[in-house]
Amino acid sequence: MTSPKRAIEESPEAFYQRFRTHALEVYLFPEPWGSPLVEVLCGDQVVYAFDRGAPPAPTGRVRALLHGTVRKAKPLEGAPFLRREGPTYRLGGRAEALGDGFYLLKAPVPVLVHGEAPLPEEAEVLLWPPLMLFRE
């Protein structure tokens, strides 16, 4: 008999509280009516993320976490990057282990990722869609 897998998060609020020290200041554009996706300006890059916060999403500057689940990982070859590939994201950077399969991937935009297998110190990952946004 195998043991059940532990849930990645207990609730959006508890998840944000657990990792809030890794939150960054982002700018949220007005949410399209009825859409769960928000446009997020992080530095000079816009990403699209599934909003895990209570509706409605605010507009303007907020503290938030971007989070994704690792689909594939390999050692990074080259400079850190973040790019969208269809409905998902591929990013690379230095991976800081946080425990329990969580890493802060220090790409051009820091993203909290979770993977079943350990990540290399410098990693390139393909995430499962969607990229998620947790906010205060």
Mean pLDDT by 10 residues, the chain (136 residues): 58 94 95 84 94 89 97 97 96 97 96 97 97 94
The pTM (predicted TM-score) of the whole model is: 0.90
Question: For position 10, what pLDDT does the model report?
Answer: 81
Beta strands in 14-59 (DSSP E): 24-28, 37-42, 45-51
Enumerate helices (H) and strands (E) in the chain, giving the number of each. Answer: 1, 9
Contact 124, 111 (CB under 8 A): no
**Could you say which DSSP state residue 13 is in?**
H
Question: For position 43, what pLDDT does the model report?
Answer: 87
Question: For position 16, what pLDDT does the model report?
Answer: 95
Distances (CA, A) of 71 to 41, 92, 96, 115: 24, 13, 18, 8
Question: For position 4, what pLDDT does the model report?
Answer: 43
126 in helix, strand or coil? strand
- The tokens for 5 are 């897998």
